[in-house]
Structure 1
């Protein structure tokens, strides 16, 4: 559909555009389609895609499924089982999307503070489109990114979280995205998160599905006003065989605090881009990530932090655990603009190779145009410590158990950075997959 059957692709876009939508949204979608047509699929000849080849997966004939199609093709019991698997805590606010479309049956919101909006994008566009127009039209650089352009061409649904000034959310908001039914279904969720001045929110995105050939192409836009605080968690647990492409775009104002926790274990190919613009003073930004490819999986993590104003701090730690023939890519860029004096930025990427066939390509970058800054970056790649293995084995610990203890220790500082107990326990259960390690 995307690469070779452009007639089908055009037909699906025409069908979407034929539905009643505000004129500005019709124009925005068309701009996205035009940009995608001009850009075409990225190839390995592009520097940003040198280690990530999407051509083979993107040539599949993906189908833009509707919610009605999903419910016809999949029983409620199957959907319920997936929702139960994804649910971290029944006390959380939860929005469930099936093949990119909101499903009220499995969603829930508890009592909300006055003025707080937790809704789906399609409903907001129908009822009060002007409230999301400026955020949707804000620059996510879709004119430079093929997959962002493709998402823009098919803007239809996703989550809308709007927190007014002075509100501290007492429950996390959990966004669950399921791909089910047709094994080659494609979804393009667009999520909008805005947190007002002196407000605080915790947001969790979970991606999982059924089948081995579906495609998720997601964009999440996060806006933090002055002194706002957001903890954002993304759990990428797609089925092996799926294609997952995602962009998270973050805009921060003065004295705001944004913390990102990214965990990737699924998909045949997963590429996650996280771009933060620090457009104010006294901003704190923390980016933590853990990617764990195995088999033939490829996981590509790309981050960019733009220090646009002085007196801001950023801290970044990404770790990879690679087994079998798994491949990892990390490209982190810290861009210190002219005038962004007193910047303090730290970036680290560490990779643990568990097999001789595992491969990681890492490229930490600094680009600095100010002279009074403190910036560091580094990357390390290694194997399990043989002396540590010997130490554990000499004390009667079986080899496999000793191996898992060291893997857990390697990942632990990233996992322990998660402050929501339900999310942290979920991640620990993945690392401690065998019962013998539950007492570590």
Structure 2
């Protein structure tokens, strides 16, 4: 029997948490024990054998405690050019003393909140890792943006990870936004130490009416980082939610991003780039649930893979029977630069309404040799020409980042990776 199929493997996690969420934790524990971690043949994790990876890499299934952090380290870790407020997380624990809190926004440790309906958006029965987090997370943040509040500067969610013997870190963040509010979040993580870390993150986002929320992520933690994240948001009437995920490194990364379209005249956007080398494995699973008429969703993910890296894209769009006049678009494009690189892609549509405009598709291929020859014929070095073509392919996603400093920072990282920076 696999170690991870034994209930006692997770007992230290499941029995450690005590706070205001007894009812939700019980639900999470029951859901996790009934599902268990994904088996080898489970369809949703068919190409991402996360259970095997954890069994091999993680020797101590206990929650990692906070480490010593200094203000100097925090300041050094913020990406160059950032201007805004910073929320600091230490192995999942929210550290207000090292944070720069924005005015007019309620922010606190999530463990101090009472009557917060966690697990109502990222439901534990949907995913075993979401259930495990609900049952056993130690801390995180509660963020509430009041009605009609427009936060013009971005809020940086800066997380530090360090664990002994491959321990588990389980951040949890609840974000709620009042009607007519506007806010942008940027997620950046820093891995410290020389031990493998498993991060099991859940972010629940509850929008109001006529709100605008941007959520940008940079995944560049390196070869010792294993991550599963569940980010789910409720999008209400006249609102817009946009997510951009930039995946550059990691050991094995699984991103579950779910949008629930619950109000008319709303828009949900999902964009992503994954530039993978070495043996990095990144799996993007997305889900858009259109439940009401007159709403829109847009999705574009692009991947460039080389060496022995592996990418997975699985996108689902559901259009319910009442969701007439829906516009939903999904596209996944990939370039393979190595014979050993692998991409598994599966865009999906399930439409129950009859008056909609929906499309989906995917492409996988190699670099355009004719375009490469065209540039070389005009005096451009082959490596430079290759870098320019690759950036032209990937750069389209970066255009959807509205925060100029973060767009510039990610552009620089992407250009360095692709060899298109001169």
TM-score under structure 2 length normalisation:
0.93
Q: Identify which range, 30-39 or 329-338, moves more after superposition.
A: 30-39
1:80 deviation in Å?
Answer: 4.2
Residue 121 of structure 1 corresponds to 110
1:422 deviation in Å?
Answer: 1.2
1:306 equivalent to 2:289? Answer: yes
Match of 2:182 among 183, 200, 205: 200
Residue 190 of structure 1 corresponds to 172
Relative distance call for 1:165 and 1:2 in structure 2 (3 A) is farther
1:98 equivalent to 2:90? Answer: yes
1:414 deviation in Å?
Answer: 0.3
Residue 47 of structure 1 corresponds to 43
1:39 deviation in Å?
Answer: 1.2
CA contact 1:244–1:271 (8 Å) conserved in 2: yes
Q: Secondary structure at the match of 1:424?
A: helix
CA-to-aligned-CA distance 1:310-348 (integer Å, 9 cap, x gap): 000111101111111111110111100011100011110
Residue 329 of structure 2 corresponds to 346
Match of 2:59 among 58, 61, 75: 61
Q: Identify which range, 233-242 or 186-195, moves more after superposition.
A: 233-242
CA distance in 2: counterparts of 1:365 and 1:137, whole angstroms: 26
1:41 deviation in Å?
Answer: 1.2
Q: Identify which range, 357-366 or 48-57, moves more after superposition.
A: 48-57
1:89 deviation in Å?
Answer: 4.6
Residue 13 of structure 1 corresponds to 14
1:118 deviation in Å?
Answer: 2.8
1:108 deviation in Å?
Answer: 1.2
Residue 262 of structure 1 corresponds to 245
Match of 2:23 among 18, 22, 27: 27
Match of 1:107 among 95, 99, 105: 99
Residue 165 of structure 1 corresponds to 147
CA contact 1:2–1:9 (8 Å) conserved in 2: no
CA-to-aligned-CA distance 1:187-221 (integer Å, 9 cap, x gap): 11111111111110001112231235110100111
CA-to-aligned-CA distance 1:383-411 (integer Å, 9 cap, x gap): 11111111222233222222111111111
CA RMSD in angstroms comes to: 2.1
CA-to-aligned-CA distance 1:232-277 (integer Å, 9 cap, x gap): 1011122213211001111011110111111111221101011111
CA contact 2:390–2:418 (8 Å) conserved in 1: no
1:183 deviation in Å?
Answer: 5.3
Higher helix proportion = 1
TM-score under structure 1 length normalisation:
0.90
1:30 deviation in Å?
Answer: 2.5
CA-to-aligned-CA distance 1:67-113 (integer Å, 9 cap, x gap): 1xx22xxx74xx84465234355531111111111223432124x13
CA distance in 1: counterparts of 2:295 and 2:167, whole angstroms: 42
- What does residue range 125-144 of structure 1 map to in structure 2 within 5 Å? 125=113, 129-130=114-115, 133-134=116-117, 136-144=118-126
Structure 1: segments with no counterpart, 5+ residues? none
Q: Secondary structure at the match of 2:234?
A: strand
Structure 2: segments with no counterpart, 5+ residues? none
CA contact 2:163–2:196 (8 Å) conserved in 1: no
Match of 1:364 among 340, 344, 347: 347
CA distance in 2: counterparts of 1:90 and 1:377, whole angstroms: 35
CA contact 2:122–2:231 (8 Å) conserved in 1: no
Relative distance call for 1:90 and 1:368 in structure 2 (3 A) is closer
